[in-house]
Chain A
Amino acid sequence: MSAANKRKPKPLDRRRFLQDAARAAGACAVAGMALSKLATDARALPAQAIRPPGALPEEDFLAACIRCGLCVRDCPYDTLKLAELGIEGPATGTPYFTARDIPCEMCDDIPCVVACPTGALDHGLTNIDDADMGLAVLIDEERCLNALGLRCDVCYRVCPVIDKAITLERRHNERSGAHAIFMPIVHSDHCTGCGKCEKSCVLPGESAIKVLPRRLATAEAAEHYKLGWEDRNPMVDELIDLPDRLPGPGTDNLAAPGGYLPEGLPDPSMEGGFSPSFGLPGAGGSGQ
């Protein structure tokens, strides 16, 4: 083949070469686009497929996981499995688990992470309580037995991070008017997404509490609202750090509340200056 080519005159050779190259490049571009489509589609991890502990975020995971299944083999509870083409949702051959079938038992030594040769399961995860596989969400409050006012408590009892990841919050039972509802509440800073609660929910079929990927289960914090009960630092010193008028002589002296002029407050007698019209008795402030 090559011998035959060599006998051909040069210009034709070059033209042929360029044509072939263009054709190959074109074909590869088409094939490459199809492959890219597959690759990008694969990121849409279905909600019920939970990655093993320590799994990198999905975008990074698909570059890191070589789909060797060593994590699957070293999981003592047979929690993990490799996705099979066309049967389950995650990218073919990547590890995941279905909490309702077999949840993660949160092994202290995290054998799945140790087994991972590539670090697709982050070797920096050494305390399983820091795992972040997902977040449990009490998804069906109409059927959760506790939410109905019964004392099931199963999800709460099985939680390996009991009283931190799930707590029972007492509420008034409006229906009976006389009883309490012990509402299972999941706390995102402690829930590891192990799925023990989802697995053990006593309802037949689907669970009332489900582990969801964090991207679905958590909203973005409203940065533009200030939660005053969490953050006591005043937003703007001048506005919040008001002087208080205390009862006593001179209190109604607007120019000098409390009897003296506080520093930093614009002089009310100047333009732009102002003075508070009332103050809370006993509250702390620079006026005291």
Chain B
Amino acid sequence: MSEKTALPVGQEAIQEKGWWKAHRFLILRRLTQAFFLGLFLLGPWFGIWWVKGNLAGSMTFDILPLTDPFVLLQGIVGQHWPEMTAIIGALIVGVAYALIGGRVYCSWVCPINPVTDAAHWLHDKLGLAKGWQPKRNTRFWVLGMVFVVSALTGTIAWEFVNPISMLHRGLIFGMGFAWTFVLAVFLFDLVVSRRGWCGHLCPVGAFYGLLGQGSLLRVSAVNRAECDDCMDCFAVCPEMHVITPALRGADEDTPIILSPDCTNCGRCVDVCAPDVFKFTTRFDTTPAPARASRRNKQRQPEASRAA
């Protein structure tokens, strides 16, 4: 391992690109999260009713309906055919995320993301073991389970426990004991399973991942030839397995991160000192020669260990 990895994650990027460029997307992301939450809070806190409702369903300027397609789909599976307003709202949301990346919801909008990010930050600080790591596809099992329960009980099943709605609705309409769910997710990520909730279990993430399977907006490791194996991108990425195929691919492999698990958070873009990553579209065909090390297969063991 090179000396560079001894530096704290992202340190090199700060030195080379400056603090702002090394935190750009992180800051933008936090601002966006605050912005979306703030829109909903304008009404109850300041009486400015631009946006009414919550993430499950909302009405903006009394004209634009938005509905969470995952919630609506559970209702349909539970045998309620919704009114047109909800369907239009779900279509708008669905198409938007299908274009910009389904899991953009996770990293740019979801109010649980700051919670699990905080848990991960503390987890790192305390140097805890990564703990139980369920299989990557566990969340799809959970997703299937949610639909089955919705169908069997004729309810929107996930909404009985969904920590996202608990927190979001709690902040806007009154919390009750909903904070216990949020705390549970935090503790789960902290002591039971590193990046466990968003990365392995949450069916909402799984749903949006599937939705954004073919999304246009993608991160690409175009400059992968420049990669100096500092491993910082793997350290910050909430779904680190998505990086490997793009970054460590051969010449003929696409440098674009095509996995629907990628949340388009852009943290890898931030943290990479040689600017290997950038946002682009899935149709970007800029040639991206593989890393020199990839050609002689020297670093392969390290790669699989990291993944």
Taking beta carbons and an 8 Å cutoff, which residues of A are in contact with B?
A: 1-4, 20, 24-25, 27-29, 31-32, 35-36, 38-40, 42, 56, 59-60, 62-70, 72-74, 81-88, 91-93, 115-120, 123
Contacts and interface: CB of A to CB of B under 8 A. Distances in A.
A29 B53 CA distance: 33
A70 B307 contact: no
Contact of A84 (B52, B176, B241): B176
Given A70-B52, A84-B175, A87-B177, A62 B82 contact: no
A24 B170 CA distance: 31
A153 to B, nearest CB: 37
**Interface size range on B against A:** 35 or more
Contact of B173 (A25, A72, A118, A123): A72
Contacts of B160: 35, 38-39, 42, 91-92
B229 interface: no
Ranked nearest first, the 7 interchain pairs of A and B with the lowest CB-CB distance are A84-B176, A68-B57, A63-B78, A86-B177, A119-B83, A39-B153, A64-B80
Nearest to A3: B304
A17 B54 CA distance: 40
B67 interface: yes
B58 A62 contact: no
A93 B165 contact: yes
Interface string B258-301: 00000000000000000000000000000000000000000000
A45 to B, nearest CB: 13
B232 interface: no
Nearest to A29: B145
Nearest to B85: A117
Interface of B: 43, 49, 52-54, 56-59, 65, 67-68, 71-72, 74-75, 78-83, 85-86, 89, 135-138, 141-142, 144-146, 148-150, 152-161, 165-166, 169-170, 172-178, 180-181, 241, 244, 304, 307
Contact of A67 (B80, B148, B159): B159
A36 to B, nearest CB: 5
Nearest to A23: B135
A66 B138 contact: no
A85 B196 CA distance: 24
B279 to A, nearest CB: 25
Contact of B89 (A29, A81, A117): A117
B169 A82 contact: yes
Contacts of A42: 155, 160
A117 B135 contact: no
A35 to B, nearest CB: 5
